[in-house]
């Protein structure tokens, strides 16, 4: 692939492309450092997290360092995500100054951008074929670019349709309890309409007005037999704005225009009884159980397109990569350690998210019981990661802007056509052969 020019990025972009010719890789700030007793120093950057996860990191780093004393010393810098892009801004600065850490945790859809720009290196060789077969397919797909594995994570995510059981029972509505009976779009809209009142929205489809929109709503394109971009990630025209794509956008727009969903939902709208259904993440189970014990709720499968739509559900989470600045052998030992069965299982348990190893469910038996079993079923069978394309930095904010424009009255086709044109222009300028 030809050298990349610095892409024109907006504040909403998640990554900055780096010109390979201007960033050089001969100097290794991370890989060239040594720790105590002459050990190779391996540094990790990852976002700060809740106390249970911070404790997990301390425990695992201490255990690794004790086991590899005098050979490898592992250190982590926890970076506060003060706003949506503070973490990415720090990475961008490190790319420019050639001061990257050895191991970098990044959000799933950003992996392709880093891989395309030569910022991270393949990690295939640090996992056996048998080992990789234990990871769910979606996390491997998320971490793969141009046929090579660049990243793996310990947890996955999923989204399903939560519902207020008191409201559905009062309306005589029975929600599906089998994947093959998942609500169609028409059934979903009908239920949302029946449950909409002057005080309660029928549904909530806006997780947030940034990355939450493509993360959740892409599945409507996939269920309808298309996607945002081509399989190789090079083209949006004819995909996001295809006839099937326009159908998906029109359906979502109808939920807003008919008054079944709010364009500006209040915080925790479903949790506070202000909407009857919600497209929400698997992490909401723990929140509802712990903080809203009096709410009578259930969860059912992600809705499917009418006329034989594909069962699908969102996936994606943070994953570990090895940067070009690393001592790859030492970093490979660390990444293999972090993603072993024991550590994946304990991390998933601490953060209350789906594990990426199928064998972890032997220990995490809570996922054998509803409602967690539903998210496990989706993760193992219907999960689709966000598009693998270095152009995601344009696609994500562009899609969010297009959807919000539609929701406020812009023409659906024109909005999607503009998104497709912007994506294709950026890809051709910066990534085409």
pLDDT tens track for 301-319: 999 999 999 999 999 999 9
Position 224 scores a pLDDT of: 98
Q: Tell me the residue ranges of DSSP E strands in 179-312.
A: 277-281, 297-300
Q: Residue 4, Cα to own-chain centre: how many angstroms?
A: 25
Q: What is the pLDDT of residue 21?
A: 31
Residue with tokens 């996607």: 227
pLDDT of amino acid 24: 35
Rounded average pLDDT per 10-residue block, the chain, 433 residues: 34 34 36 77 93 95 96 94 73 91 93 93 95 95 95 96 98 98 98 98 94 95 98 96 98 98 96 98 94 97 97 95 95 97 96 94 96 96 94 94 97 98 96 85
- Confidence at residue 13, expressed as pLDDT on a 0 to 100 scale: 37
Contact 325, 100 (CB under 8 A): yes
SS3 143: coil
From residue 362, alpha-carbon distances to 36, 52, 73, 366 in Å are 38, 22, 32, 10
Give the tokens for residue 300. Answer: 């059912």
Query: What does the alpha-carbon distance between residue 299 and residue 109 come to, in Å, rounded to a whole number?
Result: 26
pLDDT value at residue 88: 81
Q: Tens digit of pLDDT for each residue in 226-273?
A: 999 999 999 999 999 999 999 999 999 999 999 999 999 999 999 999
Q: What pairs with residue 159 in β-bridges?
A: 281
pLDDT of residue 23: 37
What pLDDT score does 26 carry? Answer: 33
Return the residue matching tokens 């048998």. Answer: 130
CB atoms within 10 A of CB 62: 11
**Are the C-beta atoms of residues 106 and 286 closer than 8 Å to each other?**
no
For residues 224 and 247, is the Cβ–Cβ distance under 8 A?
yes
Query: What structural domains does the chain harbor?
Result: 38-152+316-338 (3.40.190.10), 158-313+386-429 (3.40.190.10)
Q: Which residues contact 100 (CB under 8 A, 6 or more apart)?
A: 29, 30, 91, 94, 119, 323, 324, 325
Q: Quick check: 304 and 138 in contact, CB under 8 A?
A: no
* Chain centre distance of CA 52: 21
φ/ψ of residue 377, rounded to 5:
-60, -45
| 187 Cβ contact partners less than 8 Å away, ≥ 6 residues apart | 303
CA–CA distance, 100 with 110 (Å, rounded to integer): 16
Token pair listed for 312 = 């699908």
pLDDT value of residue 85: 66
Q: Report how far residue 31's alpha carbon sits from residue 21's, in angstroms, rounded to the nearest whole number.
A: 20
Average pLDDT score, the chain = 90
């Amino acid at each position: 692939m030809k050298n990349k020019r610095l892409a024109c990025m907006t504040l909403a972009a998640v990554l900055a492309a780096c010109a390979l010719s201007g960033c050089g890789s001969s100097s290794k700030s991370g890989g060239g450092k040594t720790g105590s007793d002459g050990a190779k120093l391996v540094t990790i950057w990852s976002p700060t997290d809740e106390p249970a996860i911070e404790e997990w990191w301390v425990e695992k780093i201490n255990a690794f360092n004790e086991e590899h004393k005098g050979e490898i010393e592992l250190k982590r810098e926890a970076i506060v995500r003060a706003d949506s892009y503070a973490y990415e801004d720090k990475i961008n600065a490190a790319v420019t100054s050639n001061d990257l850490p050895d191991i970098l945790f990044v959000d799933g859809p950003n992996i392709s951008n880093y891989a395309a720009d030569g910022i991270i290196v393949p990690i295939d060789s640090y996992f056996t074929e048998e080992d990789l077969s234990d990871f769910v397919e979606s996390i491997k797909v998320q971490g793969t670019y141009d046929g090579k594995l660049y990243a793996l994570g310990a947890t996955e995510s999923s989204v399903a349709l939560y519902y207020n059981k008191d409201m559905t029972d009062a309306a005589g509505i029975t929600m599906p309890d089998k994947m093959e009976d998942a609500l169609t779009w028409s059934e979903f809209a009908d239920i949302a309409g029946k449950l909409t009142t002057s005080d309660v929205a029928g549904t909530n489809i806006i997780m947030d007005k940034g990355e939450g929109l493509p993360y959740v709503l892409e599945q409507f394109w996939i269920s309808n037999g298309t996607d945002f971009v081509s399989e190789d990630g090079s083209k949006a025209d004819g995909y996001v704005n295809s006839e099937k794509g326009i159908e998906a956008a029109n359906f979502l727009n109808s939920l807003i225009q008919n008054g079944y969903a709010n364009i500006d939902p209040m915080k925790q709208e479903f949790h506070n009884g202000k909407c009857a259904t919600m497209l929400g993440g698997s992490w909401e189970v723990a929140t509802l159980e712990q903080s809203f014990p009096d709410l009578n709720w259930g969860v059912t499968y992600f809705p499917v397109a009418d006329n034989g739509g594909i069962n699908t559900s969102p996936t994606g989470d943070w994953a570990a990569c090895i940067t070009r600045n690393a001592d790859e052998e030492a970093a490979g030992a660390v990444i293999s350690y972090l993603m072993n069965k024991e550590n994946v299982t304990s991390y998933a348990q601490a953060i209350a998210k789906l594990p990426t190893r199928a064998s972890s469910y032997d220990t995490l038996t809570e996922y054998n019981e509803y409602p967690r079993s539903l998210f496990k079923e989706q993760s193992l069978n219907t999960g689709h990661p966000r598009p693998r394309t270095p152009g995601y930095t344009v696609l994500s904010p562009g899609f969010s802007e297009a959807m919000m424009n539609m929701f406020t009255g812009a023409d659906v086709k024109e909005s999607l056509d503009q998104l497709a044109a912007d994506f294709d222009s950026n890809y051709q300028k910066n990534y085409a052969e």
